[in-house]
Amino acid sequence: MTHSLISQGQTNRRKFLRSAASGAAAVILTPASGKDAPVSPVLIEEPFNGAILDRHHGRPCGGGLAVRVAGSAPESLRVVVNGTPARRKGNRFFSEVTLSQKVTEIVARCPGSGEEDRVRVVWDRFSSPRYDFALDDNIFFLRDIARQRYASLFDCFYLKMLRDWHRKYGTCFTANIYFASEDGFTLTAFPDRYMKEWKENADWLKLAFHAYADRPDRPYQDAPAAKLLGDYDRVAEQILRFAGPDTFATPTNLHWSMARPDALKALAQRGVRVLSGYFRPYNGRWDINYDLGAKRSEYLSRQDRLMDFDLGIIFIRDAIVCNENSVGQVAAVLDPLTRSGTDQKETINLLTHEQYFWPFYSRHLPDHPQRVEAAIRWVTDHGYKPAFFRDGLLGGAA
């Protein structure tokens, strides 16, 4: 997703993550864009517009899920929520709505003044603990296979390692790939003679677009939709050529996780349904967040997933970046996701970056495989099952 070697004048990712972690509670954040909605006199504060709610967010009720609704309105006004008078306490109002459909609109209205607020929420009705694993910045293993002309894809240590983890834990992987490497190798040089092997392993191993190349940094942050789609089509064409449609997958993140709204809309029209990012503060702003703005980014930093109904895309927070956390840190990062109540997460997105596996890479991590396996072992031990979040509703039944 994000770049591992940052161009001169920019902070590297390790510094970014340290600063984000230490500064999250201290900074006063400004919007990363001006897109946050204006405040209404009648405001639904809970649930959040676009919230994806599961069994941890309410109680069973007549085949549905009863969820709390809370907000604010002038104390003098009567508030009705989906036709039911709300309980008032000062300028606060409280009610309950039962979800019975996948998408429910909640309307808080003041009959006397006509003022209202509306939110829509998604019910993850068939939710269960599940995880996805994304591998970003991939090009080295494809170059290695093409140049070494292995008899099997899995003679490459990288793919063999992924297959070993799949066999041991059932993990499903998506390798998000570049079109070109810095030394001039491109996907056009990858042979199609492994097509049968790709197809035989397509139930757990997918290839998806990430970017044209590792550089420049933030390639799509300010790029028009045509640039992003051009790169997307170039990579997709090659995946289909050498690996086939069963292995090709729509991406679940972009390099640096930043893009313009018109580009995101264009991706949605190509079938992209899920995009992951860091959604963390840095230097007083939210970053690596698809420019969603402060309000939604802050929500995602706590609740991990959010539906954008205008785009038809679910945004999800990366729970851990394995190459940035030692084996001993993995549990400390992931343990909070199993807290009881609404903080308990049913979906966990795991992420790491290919380059740290390769000994020739300047920042090679000899224990990178152990870091990744520690994260996979943690989700497995805590009852999470492997899934592709692009399928169904975040890998679950829709």
CA-CA-CA-CA dihedral for 313, 262, 253, 390, to nearest 10: 30
Residues 229 and 270 in one domain: yes
Q: What pLDDT sits at residue 40?
A: 67
Q: What pLDDT sits at residue 306?
A: 98
Q: Residues for the chain: how many in total?
A: 398
Residues 89 and 101 in one domain: yes
**Least confident segment among 76-80, 193-197, 338-342:** 338-342
Residues 85 and 131 in one domain: no
Contact 256, 2 (CB under 8 A): yes
> How many other C-beta atoms lie within 10 A of the C-beta of residue 51?
21
Q: Residues 266-274: what's their mean pLDDT? A: 97
Q: What percent of the chain has pLDDT over 70?
A: 90
Q: Is the pLDDT score of 352 beyond 90?
A: yes
Q: Is 393 part of any domain? A: no
Q: Residues 52-60: what's their mean pLDDT? A: 96
Give pLDDT tens digits for 216-248. 999 999 999 999 999 999 999 999 999 999 999
Residues 196 and 269 in one domain: yes
Domain-ending residue, one of 123, 143, 173: 123
> Residue 72 belongs to a domain with what CATH number?
2.60.40
Residues 186 and 282 in one domain: yes
Which has more confidence, 12 or 322? 322
Q: What pLDDT sits at residue 343?
A: 79
Domain-ending residue, one of 123, 149, 166: 123
Q: Residues 35-61: what's their mean pLDDT? A: 87
pTM above 0.85, yes or no: yes
| CA 118 to centroid of chain Cα atoms | 25
Residues 159 and 196 in one domain: yes
Q: Is the pLDDT score of 30 beyond 60?
A: no
Residues 309 and 198 in one domain: yes
Q: Residues 357-369: what's their mean pLDDT? A: 98
Q: Would you call 221 helix, strand, or coil by DSSP?
A: coil
Residues 91 and 169 in one domain: no
Mean pLDDT rounded to a whole number for the chain: 91
Q: Would you call 396 helix, strand, or coil by DSSP?
A: strand
d(CA 216, CA 365): 23
Q: Is 89 part of any domain? A: yes
CA-CA-CA-CA dihedral for 319, 322, 323, 326, to nearest 10: 110
Q: What pLDDT sits at residue 25?
A: 37
Contact 351, 392 (CB under 8 A): no
Respond yes or no on whether the N-terminal peptide bond of residue 336 is cis (omega within 30° of 0).
no
Q: Residues 337-362: what's their mean pLDDT? A: 94
Q: Residues 352-378: what's their mean pLDDT? A: 98
Q: Is 45 part of any domain? A: no
Query: What angle (nearest 5°) sits at the alpha carbon of residue 22, between those of residues 19 and 25?
Result: 120
Q: What pLDDT sits at residue 340?
A: 79
Q: Would you call 335 helix, strand, or coil by DSSP?
A: helix
Residues 78 and 221 in one domain: no
- Residue appearing with tokens 């954008």: 308
Q: Which amino acid is at 376?
A: I
d(CA 51, CA 95): 17
Give the residue among 127, 159, 134 at the shortest CA–CA distance from 384.
127
pLDDT band at 398 (very low <50, low <70, confident <90, very high): confident
Contact 104, 97 (CB under 8 A): yes
Give the residue among 187, 196, 77, 84 at the shortest CA–CA distance from 140.
187
Q: Is 161 part of any domain? A: yes
Q: Residues 179-201: what's their mean pLDDT? A: 98
**What is the domain extent for residue 265?**
13-27+127-386
Q: Is the pLDDT score of 8 beyond 80?
A: no
How far is the first Cα of the chain from the last one, in angstroms, to the nearest whole number?
A: 26
Q: What pLDDT sits at residue 200?
A: 98
**DSSP letter, residue 244:** -
Structurally, the chain folds into a number of domains equal to 2
> How many other C-beta atoms lie within 10 A of the C-beta of residue 103?
11
Q: Is the pLDDT score of 142 beyond 50?
A: yes
Residues 256 and 216 in one domain: yes
- Which tokens hold the place of 65? 């899920």
pLDDT band at 16 (very low <50, low <70, confident <90, very high): very low
- Residue appearing with tokens 């954040």: 29
Q: What pLDDT sits at residue 65?
A: 98
Residues 248 and 184 in one domain: yes
Residues 368 and 323 in one domain: yes
